Amino acid sequence: MSLLSRALVTTLPLVPKAAVGKVASRYVAGETLEEAVAAIRRLNGLGAMATVDVLGEEVTEREKAEAAVAEYERVLAAIEAGGLDANVSIKLTMLGLEIDRGFCRDNVERLARAAAERGNFVRIDMEDATTTDATLAIYRELQPRLGNLGVVLQAYMRRTLADLDTLPAEGANVRLCKGIYIEPRRIAWKGYETVRRNFVSALAKMLRRGVYAAIATHDEYLVCEARALLDEHAVPRERYEFQMLLGVDEQLRDILISEGHRMRIYVPYGTDWYPYSIRRLRENPEVARHVMKATLGRAFGRNSGRTRGAADHGFTSGGPKAARPPEDGASSGGRR
């Protein structure tokens, strides 16, 4: 990342919320479930599936965790009522992981059962390293009993290849992404090409073990490598999918759909759109540069043109620690 880009990332909190809001529409479906449903319907019309994320994290009050569960139940009901091709993605810190692990596990089970009643699926998002052990433990406990849960592994974590060996022998379903949380070097790979290499190694191991692969990336090199591995292992179409963020590299999305690959788009919504959008901009300094240019242009009475930007490198709603620059391997953390 250039010095200018680093400076822009640092000054993002100074950008007016209204300016961020204009960019937010690229990444966020809206503040309401109705807006999310409309976005999903548009994506379904393009041949893409969706996974819905209610924005928010790090709940420390039981009432808020229970409210999040209730909102996800509303999402599942809306998906069924609308005949939509979509599932949900959840964050355990939003469901009470930091309050009590048993309480959180029960909330996950409640949602998984609500989804199962509707023939649907729940993806457990991965958060920062302090939650990894608990996240995987809950997944390993519930998936063999319930059968409609998936989890996320991050290629930039040094432990990922070993974590694959701990997943349920049957029915494992993994979204593989690069990873976006700021973690120390002792537990996370730092080189961009190193993270790419580990991504490919992890995907190859998943396919050898028969794990359902949700390949979450906007990196065309990784898409190319994934296609080669899928061909090498003769993976049937129903045993994998590609995943991308809402509003990111729509041309690549359309290319993959036209080639017959299943594609799922991550659709976030909620009143917490502002911190989510700031994280998207931090991951994509080119977009941040255009936002800052437009903001300054208005301040000095100049028309700086429309905000445009390069493809995003991230794949997670992230959290307060999620501010990794692309050079360090950013791009996380996702019915499958």
Nearest-CA neighbor of 281 among 22, 20, 56? 20
Is 288 a domain residue?
A: no
pLDDT given for residue 305 in this prediction: 38
pLDDT given for residue 65 in this prediction: 98
Is 310 a domain residue?
A: no
Q: Average per-residue pLDDT in the chain?
A: 86
Number of domains in the chain: 1
Q: How many CB atoms lie within 10 A of CB 84?
A: 19
* Res. 314: pLDDT tops 60: no
pLDDT given for residue 263 in this prediction: 98
Binned at pLDDT 50, 70 and 90, residue 24 comes out as confident
Query: Which range has the worst mean pLDDT, 75-84, 251-260, 268-277?
Result: 268-277
**What is the identity of the amino acid at 263?**
M
* Res. 112: pLDDT tops 80: yes
Report the CATH number that the domain containing residue 244 is assigned in CATH.
3.20.20.220
Tell me what percent of the residues of the chain surpass a pLDDT of 70. Answer: 78
Q: pLDDT tens, 113-141?
A: 999 999 999 999 999 999 999 999 999 99
* Res. 256: pLDDT tops 80: yes
Is 5 a domain residue?
A: no
**Beta-ladder partners of 215:** 176, 242
pLDDT given for residue 9 in this prediction: 62
For 38, half-sphere exposure in the C-beta direction (CA atoms, 13 angstrom radius) is: 9
d(CA 229, CA 234): 8
Containing structural domain, residue 259: 30-273+320-328
State the Rg of the chain over Cα.
Answer: 19
Residue 104 is encoded by which pair of tokens?
């959180």
Which residues contact residue 173 at a Cβ distance below 8 angstroms, ignoring those fewer than 6 apart?
A: 121, 123, 143, 149, 150, 151, 211, 212, 214, 336
Query: Which range has the worst mean pLDDT, 18-22, 226-230, 266-270, 310-314?
Result: 310-314
Q: pLDDT tens, 279-308?
A: 666 666 655 555 555 554 544 454 433 333
* Res. 5: pLDDT tops 80: no
Is 180 a domain residue?
A: yes
CA distances from 64 to 224, 314, 318 (A): 42, 27, 19
Query: Which range has the worst mean pLDDT, 12-21, 151-160, 214-223, 263-272?
Result: 12-21
264 labelled catalytic? no
Is 143 a domain residue?
A: yes
Catalytic hit among 53, 123, 125, 196: 125
CA 217 to chain centre: 10
Helix (H, G, I), strand (E, B) or coil at 165: coil
Handedness of CA 311, 316, 317, 322 (dihedral sign): negative
* Res. 266: pLDDT tops 90: yes
Catalytic hit among 175, 264, 280, 324: 175
Is 24 a domain residue?
A: no
Residue 191 is encoded by which pair of tokens?
């080189």
Is 110 a domain residue?
A: yes
The residue ranking higher by pLDDT, 288 or 71, is 71
| Backbone angles phi and psi of 77, in degrees to 5 | -65, -40
Binned at pLDDT 50, 70 and 90, residue 211 comes out as very high
d(CA 197, CA 314): 17
Q: pLDDT tens, 148-180?
A: 999 999 999 999 999 999 999 899 999 999 998
Which residues contact residue 160 at a Cβ distance below 8 angstroms, ignoring those fewer than 6 apart?
A: 153, 154, 198, 202
279 labelled catalytic? no
Are the C-beta atoms of 5 and 323 separated by less than 8 Å?
no
pLDDT given for residue 182 in this prediction: 86
Is 308 a domain residue?
A: no
d(CA 302, CA 295): 10
pLDDT given for residue 207 in this prediction: 98
